[in-house]
Amino acid sequence: MTALSRKLSAPLAMIALASVGLLLSVMIILAGQIDQEAQQHDRDLVERGLVATIRDVEHAVAPQVIWDEAVDHLDQPFDVAWARDNITNYLAQQTGFDQVFVLDGQDRMRLAEAKEGRLTQAEAERRVAKLAPLVAKLRVSEHGLKPRDGRERRRALIAAPAQVSAFAKIEDEIYLVTASLVRSETQTAPVRRTPEAIVITAMKMEGAFVDAFADRFLLAGTHLHRALDTLDDETGYTHLPLLDANGAVVATLDWNPPHPGQRLLRKTIGPVMAVVCALALATILLARRGRMIAEGLIASEARSKHLALHDGLTGLANRLLFEERLRQAIEGLERKARPMAVLAIDLDRFKAVNDTHGHAAGDELIRKVGERLASVCRGGETVARLGGDEFGVVAADIDPNGAAILAERLLNALCGPMEMSFGVHFVSGSVGVVLVSPDQAHIGAAEAARRADVALYRAKSEGRGRYCFFEDAMDAALKARRALEEDLRAALRDGAVRLDYQPQVDAGDRVIGVEALARWSHPTRGEIPPDAFIPLAEDCGLSQEMGRYVLRRALRDSLRWRGLQVGINVSARQMKRAGFIDELAELIRETGANPRQLALEITESALLGDGEGAHDTVDSLRQMGFSLVLDDFGVGCASLSYIRRYPIDRIKIDRSFVAPLGQDADSEAVVAAIVRLAKALSLSVMAKGVETAAQREILKAIGCAQAQGFLFSPPVAAETIDALLAQGGRLHPPAQPDAA
Ligand code: C2E
Ligand code: CA
State the chain's maximal CA–CA distance in angstroms.
204
Pocket lining: 536 vs ligand 1, CB cutoff 6 Å = no
> 502 C-alpha vs ligand 1 centroid, how far in Å?
9
Pocket lining: 733 vs ligand 1, CB cutoff 6 Å = no
Per-residue pLDDT of 34-43, as tens digits, reads 988 988 888 8
Among 74-83, 107-116, 188-197, 338-347, the least confident range: 188-197
Closest CA to 125 of 99, 90, 91, 101: 101
Q: How confident is the model at residue 191 (pLDDT cuts 50, 70, 90)?
A: low
Identify the top-confidence range among 184-193, 196-205, 591-600: 591-600
Among 82-86, 347-351, 563-567, the least confident range: 347-351
Cα distances (Å, whole numbers) of residue 712 to 126, 475, 694: 176, 44, 13
- The pTM of this model reads 0.53
Q: Residue 84: helix, strand or coil by DSSP?
A: helix
> In this model, does residue 456 exceed pLDDT 70?
yes
Among 170-179, 275-284, 390-399, 661-670, the least confident range: 275-284
| C-beta of residue 393 within 8 angstroms of C-beta of residue 384 | yes
| C-beta of residue 582 within 8 angstroms of C-beta of residue 549 | no
**Ligand 1 atom 16: the closest Cα is on which residue?**
689
The more confident residue out of 232 and 411 is 411
AA identity, residue 327: R
Q: For residue 550, give the ligand nearest its CA.
A: 1
Pairing of strands 109-114, 526-528: unpaired
> In this model, does residue 144 exceed pLDDT 80?
no
> 641 C-alpha vs ligand 2 centroid, how far in Å?
20
Residue 399, Ramachandran bin (φ over 0: left; ψ between -120 and 50: alpha; else beta) = beta
* Residue 344: per-residue pLDDT: 97
> In this model, does residue 575 exceed pLDDT 70?
yes
Q: How confident is the model at residue 243 (pLDDT cuts 50, 70, 90)?
A: very high
Q: What is the mean pLDDT of the chain?
A: 88
Q: How confident is the model at residue 193 (pLDDT cuts 50, 70, 90)?
A: low
Q: Is the dihedral of CA 16, 22, 28, 31 positive or negative?
A: negative
User: Which atom of ligand 1 has the smallest separation from the CA of 632?
Assistant: 3
Q: How confident is the model at residue 190 (pLDDT cuts 50, 70, 90)?
A: low
Q: Residue 681: helix, strand or coil by DSSP?
A: coil
What are the backbone angles phi and psi of residue 392, rounded to the nearest 5°?
-145, 150
> In this model, does residue 208 exceed pLDDT 80?
yes
The Cα 432–Cα 40 span in angstroms is 98
Q: How confident is the model at residue 151 (pLDDT cuts 50, 70, 90)?
A: low
Pocket lining: 572 vs ligand 1, CB cutoff 6 Å = no
The Cα 320–Cα 261 span in angstroms is 71
> In this model, does residue 703 exceed pLDDT 50?
yes
* Residue 735: per-residue pLDDT: 63
Q: Is the dihedral of CA 302, 306, 307, 308 positive or negative?
A: positive
* Residue 19: per-residue pLDDT: 81
Residue 149, Ramachandran bin (φ over 0: left; ψ between -120 and 50: alpha; else beta) = beta
Pocket lining: 531 vs ligand 1, CB cutoff 6 Å = yes
In the chain, the percentage of residues whose pLDDT exceeds 70 is: 94
> In this model, does residue 8 exceed pLDDT 90?
no
Domains of the chain: residue spans and CATH: 1-143+155-309 (3.30.450.20), 319-470 (3.30.70.270), 492-726 (3.20.20.450)
* Residue 322: per-residue pLDDT: 96
Q: How confident is the model at residue 702 (pLDDT cuts 50, 70, 90)?
A: very high
* Residue 740: per-residue pLDDT: 37
Which residue from 569, 661, 695, 708 has its CB within 8 A of the most atoms of ligand 1, so it is best to mutate? 569
Q: For residue 502, give the ligand nearest its CA.
A: 1
Give the pLDDT mean for 380-405.
Answer: 93
The more confident residue out of 354 and 552 is 552
Pocket lining: 545 vs ligand 1, CB cutoff 6 Å = no
The Cα 695–Cα 672 span in angstroms is 13
* Residue 232: per-residue pLDDT: 74
The more confident residue out of 732 and 367 is 367
* Residue 418: per-residue pLDDT: 87
Among 161-175, 221-235, 526-540, 671-685, the least confident range: 221-235
